[in-house]
Amino acid sequence: MVASVVEQLQARVDSMQGRPAAQPVATHPALAGLLGLRAGGTYTVDSATLVGLLLAGPSGDGAWCGVVGSTELGLEATAALGVDLSRLVLVPDPADAWLEVTAALVDALGAVVVRPPSDVAESAAARLVARLRKRGGVLVVWGDWPRPDARLTLSDPVWAGLERGHGHLQGRQATVEVRRGTGPARRRRLWLPAPDDQGVREVESAPTPLRSVG
């Protein structure tokens, strides 16, 4: 079934001119000024939240997206971040063929997430990146990858809504850190989600009662 979907999408892509590499790709507004996605770019993340955040821009712009090698992605939470589930292709267990499946989806989709089951050789990564740049898509790696364009991490989560061990979780703050190469890291504190509207946005200066969670 997955192969059939990929073939159909590939036919659509082959009928259109691909996006030139290095052109801007729609990025979630909460990341504006912190990270700009580029066609042909590779980005590593360390959490499901960042997976959804990076897919939200391309998905909201009408691109088909794919996720390879993960059974831990919460679809409800991913949809809340702005990902259109009707345009999301899931291959949760590609077994030893994960690299081949990822390459096939890179040919057909606008953005692909892969969670490698093991370390990736630089030569294999280089071949996939060359393919990615030719097609002009975006690759998000949930884990390690040789020489990505940027590494994103999520840290220091705290929740709003807990008081003295009771209450309902209403919102969460966390720090998104973006590091490119050996340059200094850039950071932004975000609501993921905000307690009032469940949206994603930068934390304002006015404090909200929070409780740390380990």
Digit-coded pLDDT (tens) for 112-163: 999 999 889 999 999 999 999 999 999 999 999 999 999 999 999 998 865 5
Instruction: Calculate helix-pair angle for 98-108, 2-14, nearest 10 degrees.
Output: 40
For 159-196, what is each residue's pLDDT tens digit?
A: 886 554 445 567 899 999 999 988 899 999 999 989 88
CA distance 172 to 211: 9
Contact 79, 49 (CB under 8 A): no
pLDDT tens per residue across span 48-61: 999 999 999 999 99
Full-prediction pTM beyond 0.75?
Answer: yes
